[in-house]
Structure 1
Amino acid sequence: MGDCNSCPSNSKCSTSKKEECGIKNNPLNHVKHVIGVMSGKGGVGKSTVSVMLAKSLVKQGYKVGIMDADITGPSVPRLLGIEDKRATVMEQGIVPYILKDGLKVISLNLLIEEENKPVIWRGPMIGKMVQQFWTDVIWEDLDYLVIDMPPGTGDVALTIMQMIPLEGIVMVSVPQDMISMIVAKAINMTKAMNVDVLGVIENMSYIQCPDCSKKIRLFEGDVDKFLKEHDLPLFGEIPMHKDIIKMPHTLEELPDEIREIFENIGTNVVNAVEK
């Protein structure tokens, strides 16, 4: 077991749990809150939400890091516009890339020469890599570490829940009944692993008419029923918008109404954590 004093869950652990805990920690790091961003399947905008959540927390004045744990599909560097940058490997550990606003980033694509090179690894090796992103990266002092988790409920998601002290999960979904069913599986997985789901973000929720501002909902899905069934709050509804699709690297590049949605999501996550 690593140093319990550097573990975000230290104050919540009983003595017996500490003795059984499989979580290892880096004594150089002091991370207050670890938040996972998860989806039941790929293609729902999980990585975009992860990046914008991290950015909104930075704007609120928090010290923030983002871990790209989607090892086989790492997109965080490109979403942040740093795909040509690299993290630094030292004897003491891995130094994440730091943006001008202070956001610290680690991703497999910041450690390899070509971002297009496929990762042909089996599950255990991928899980080990994610674990090293927690134990070997020198995060130092962070208020929030946002983890962009791989889609689904497979080996890597299981490793993160077992080996990293998650304070909670933010679930990303889209308004379709089929996707809601898959997201429900992910929610039930977190419950089985004793990890709290803090709330849900609905992406691709609607298109807003540029002329009359009416919200046009393309997909059929009863989000209110879904939230009620799982007793979860809705942190925000993100519309389908061309400026989001263009992969903006900062919140400031977004229209005011879209930027406010992401800022409100960040505030809702902080309130849920501090509750």
Structure 2
Amino acid sequence: MSPDRSAVEAALRGYQDPYLKADLLSAGFVRQLDIQGARVQVAIRLPYAATSLTAGIAQMLQFAIEAVPGVDSAQVVVDCDVQAAPVQGNLEGLAGVRNIIAVASGKGGVGKSTTAANLALALAREGARVGVLDADIYGPSMGLMLGLPEGTRPQVRDGKWFVPPRAHGIQVMSMALLADDNTPMVWRGPMVSGALLQLLTQTDWDQLDYLVVDMPPGTGDIQLTLAQKVPVSGALIVTTPQDIALLDARKAIEMFRKVSIPVVGVVENMAVHVCSNCGHAEHLFGEGGGERLAGQYGVDLIASMPLSMMIRQQADGGKPTVIAEPECQISMIYQDMARHVGARIAERAAQAAAPQISISDD
């Protein structure tokens, strides 16, 4: 006796994706469902980078389907396929890049670049093709943070394209790779904006799923140029819990809302300090600020990161935490952050293309 298709579908609906907050069948992620006698074959494609989860999801669904009366065996295959999300205005997508994620803050010193570096590395660990653009023209730091040797320069192809160097498997482009480390960029706004566009459009990005743009603090020329001329899929706002940082973070969110760039979430850095000697936890910069900010604007608080010497030391050493200690608790938070960001981008991509489901019953 062949199993009842509705019972198999009910087993599939029993798993709720924790990041898209929907069951896989209703959300259209089931690409194939074949029932051949007592054998069931299922193919599922997640729309965001999450290869660390695919084997576990496949096993859970296999067990659930094999528990359905009439099913002798189930084969479940789960993979990921990142699609391009809509962008603001009528801007065309950037060649070689599916999605651009702006990591921004209203205030400096809140750990934005550290967040951008670890987010990019975490997305890559989830199976995505990732690049990082250091958009802080005055104070570029991504080369140092990702461990590129001093004096590293991008190769030039055909006299007009920069070939981005790679660090820890991701593509990197920064003004620091084109100038001496000790040379200040004493430029006015139009020159800075022009430099950003050149870095972005004259870099030969190699088929990226995500390009993470590390923004300078504030809401000035760089941010305006990005909003007007760069196709951005979403912005991630970084803050600390203290009121001054939250005030500036609100300005950053308001800016992105005015230019129709969706905010995919808030990351709260330096949320709590745990004494390495006695284990006492203390909220040095206040408590709950990131959660209040996210609630005010109806977005997710994607992560709340501790004030940790390890995070700082590893970033300064050119091996951010996700690479230096990939299995530690802090790295797991960054991986969770990456999946959340990818899922928010995927939700927007789903608006542009309806899923197709292939179902057969023999």
- Normalising by the smaller structure, the TM-score range is 0.7 to 0.9
1:261 corresponds to: 333
Offset of residue 105 of structure 1: 0.2
RMSD value, Cα: 2.0
Q: Which runs of 5+ in 1 are unaligned?
A: 1-7
Q: Which has the higher strand share?
A: 2
Contact 2:104-2:237 at 8 Å conserved across structures: yes
Instruction: Report the identity percentage.
Output: 35
The answer on 1:111 being equivalent to 2:183 is no
Match of 1:142 among 208, 213, 217: 208
Alignment of 1:109-258 (within 5 A): 109-112=176-179, 114-210=180-276, 215-223=281-289, 224-246=291-313, 247=315, 248=317, 249-250=319-320, 251-254=322-325, 256-258=328-330
Match of 1:52 among 110, 118, 124: 118
Q: Deviations over 1:1-55 (max 9, x none)?
A: xxxxxxx56x668xxx64xx4x584xxx321111000000111111111000000
Structure whose alpha-carbon radius of gyration is higher: 2
SS at match of 1:116: coil
CA–CA distance in 2 between the matches of 1:260 and 1:119? 37
CA–CA distance in 2 between the matches of 1:140 and 1:222? 40
Is the alpha carbon distance of 1:229 and 1:142 closer, same or farther for their aligned partners in structure 2, counting shifts above 3 Å?
same
Offset of residue 211 of structure 1: 6.2
Q: Which runs of 5+ in 2 are unaligned?
A: 1-83, 348-362
Offset of residue 212 of structure 1: 6.7
CA–CA distance in 2 between the matches of 1:143 and 1:77? 21
The number of aligned residues is 257
Contact 1:83-1:109 at 8 Å conserved across structures: no
CA–CA distance in 2 between the matches of 1:12 and 1:176? 32
The answer on 1:96 being equivalent to 2:164 is yes
Is the alpha carbon distance of 1:12 and 1:145 closer, same or farther for their aligned partners in structure 2, counting shifts above 3 Å?
closer
SS at match of 1:52: helix
Q: Could you state the TM-score of these two structures normalised by the residue count of structure 1?
A: 0.87
SS at match of 1:145: strand
